[in-house]
Structures are given as structure tokens and as C-alpha cells.
Amino acid sequence: MLTVFLFALSGIAGGHTARRWGAMRGNALRLGLAALVMGVITLLWFPESLDGEVLFWLLISGVIGFGFGDIALFMAYARVGARLAVLLNLCSAPLWAAALEMMWLGTRLSAAQSGAAALILAGVAVAVASREPTGMPRQGSFVLGVVAGVAAGLGQGVGAVFSRRAIEVAEAGEIALNGFSAAAQRVAGGLLPALLAWGLVVWLGRGMPWPRAGARVGASCWLLAATLAGPVLGVSAFQWALAVAPSALVLAVVATTPVAMIPMAVCFDRERPGALSVAGAVVAVAGVILLLRVG
């Protein structure tokens, strides 16, 4: 539940960061700050958690989840708003995981799982179709934002698989891997793709201007909030939960984040979500929980 609160706050702060700093710059600055703080703490207090094979899997998880996944997520923040972006991300992730298992392992969905997947798609479709005002100005194409949100779910789902593999290797080797250290190593993996994406935007001349002097303090506060609530504390809580509870239970609880974001969006973004978008979010989240529980 702590992860749910932190992820919801991270989504709101991430949306403001993307609008004030630019999607690629905001994401790179957030991960760079997190990597610096978490790397120093890990080296000083948790050096025993660093192991070659575990580090390899966590870096791969970070490249996919934090790197490509969060690049897509920040693109979605600016185009469809934080609430819908997080909904697309978290609710599509289990569908991507199921699809990958079907392609790679030849597994098949049961009738209950198929029904849950249909419920997710129906809820997301309703939420997307509502296209209600976000309370903050949108930047760019709404359709591209939806595609980016779904792509973020792909990164989230695949990255979680590699993260779980790292935990298994650590347990087998009796390595003292904790949630904070695991999150730090994942963030390190995601930093390079984020920096490359920012550099590409600058090279193409598509970057946003830096925040004006009068707005820089507020923009920096949102950047700090996105860093702490997301990579530093949120992902640490998530990794901690995965280490002490079944992943299906953890993911089912975390899937409620889009619903938890609704009151936050009202408070911070002055959104007034209508009944249709709220109903779509609730249906999609219910489908995710059902899919994870019957899996």
C-alpha cells in the first residue's frame, strides 16, 4: 500500500515534471538525481548486495523498465495526463506479460484469465474514449500519448520479469539484496537510455526551453518529488514487497494505483474526472486484480 501511495504521487509529480522540464529532459534529470543519491547510499551502506550476476539482471531490468519504459511514460504524461498515462501503463503491463508467455513458453490463458483480460481492455477503452480534460494543458498528439502509455506498460511488464529473476539469483546465492539496493541498480541501468533519448531530442532541436527563473523553484520541487516518490522510495518499496510476498499479490495491490491517483489529481491538478472515466479506471483495475489472482 505504501508503494501504491508513492507510485500515485510519482505519477502526479511526473506529469508536472514532464510539462515543466520537457518529457526527455525531465526523465533524464529524475533518473540522474536518483542514480547519484541511491548509488552513493548503496556503496556506503549496502556494498554486500552488489554481485555480478544479480547486477546483470537488475541492469537489464532497468534498461527495459526505467529506460525505455519510463521514456514512453513521460511522453504519455505530457500528452494524455498523469492519470490516464499511469492507467495505460499499469493495466497493460499484465497483458504484455501474458502475451509474452504465450509467444515464448506456449502457455494459454484459462477462461477466467481471458475474461479478466477482456475486462481490462474494456475498462481502458472506456477511460481512453472519454478524453476528458486533464486539468493541465496537453502537449502533442493524444493518440501518440495513448500509444506511449501502452509501450510503457510493455517496459513495466518485461522489466518486472528480469527484476524477479535477479531476486531469485540473489536468494540462491544467499546475497543480501534489499529493496533499496535493487532499485538503485535498476535505476543505474535505466539512466543511459534516458540520457541518450534526451541527447537525441536536443540534437534534433526539439527540446523545450529551460524553465524561466521565476518558475524554476516550483519546477525543481516537482522534479524532486518525482525522484523521491518514484525511483528512490517508490521502487524501493516495490522491490521490498516483491522480496517478502508473492509477486501476484504485490502486483494486484499495486494495480490499484490508477484509482488512488483520482483524488490526488483532483487536489493537485484540479481535475474533475467524470463518471465515465472513473468507471473505466475501476473496471480496468478490477480486471488486472482478477487476472493476477486467477493466474
132 pLDDT tier (thresholds 50, 70, 90): low
pLDDT of 133 > 80? The answer is no
pLDDT of 105 reads: 56
How far from 31 is each of 62, 63, 236, CA to CA, in Å?
A: 11, 12, 14
Interatomic CA distance for residues 197 and 183, integer angstroms: 21
The arithmetic mean of pLDDT across residues 171-192, rounded, is 89
pLDDT of 136 reads: 60
pLDDT of 295 reads: 65
Sign of CA dihedral 61, 233, 128, 279: positive
Q: What is the pLDDT of residues 28-43, one digit of tens each?
A: 999 999 999 999 999 9
Assigned C-alpha cell, 115: 475474461
- Which range, of 69-78, 156-165, 189-198, averages the lowest pLDDT? 156-165
Answer for the pair 269, 134: CB distance below 8 angstroms, yes or no.
Answer: yes
104 pLDDT tier (thresholds 50, 70, 90): low
pLDDT of 9 reads: 95
The arithmetic mean of pLDDT across residues 49-60, rounded, is 91
pLDDT of 90 reads: 85
Q: How many domains does the chain have?
A: 1
Assigned C-alpha cell, 248: 501476484
Cα angle 132-154-219, degrees, rounded to a multiple of 5: 55
pLDDT of 64 reads: 93
The arithmetic mean of pLDDT across residues 223-228, rounded, is 95
pLDDT of 135 > 80? The answer is no
194 pLDDT tier (thresholds 50, 70, 90): very high
56 pLDDT tier (thresholds 50, 70, 90): very high
How far from 75 is each of 18, 87, 93, 192, 250, CA to CA, in Å?
A: 8, 14, 17, 17, 26
pLDDT of 118 reads: 87
Residues in the chain: 295
pLDDT of 212 reads: 81
192 pLDDT tier (thresholds 50, 70, 90): very high
138 pLDDT tier (thresholds 50, 70, 90): low
Average pLDDT value over all residues in the chain: 86
Number of helices followed by number of strands (H, E) in the chain: 13, 0
Give the domain extent around 242: 2-294
The arithmetic mean of pLDDT across residues 51-72, rounded, is 92
Answer for the pair 20, 82: CB distance below 8 angstroms, yes or no.
Answer: no
Q: What is the pLDDT of residues 75-101, one digit of tens each?
A: 999 888 888 899 899 888 888 877 776
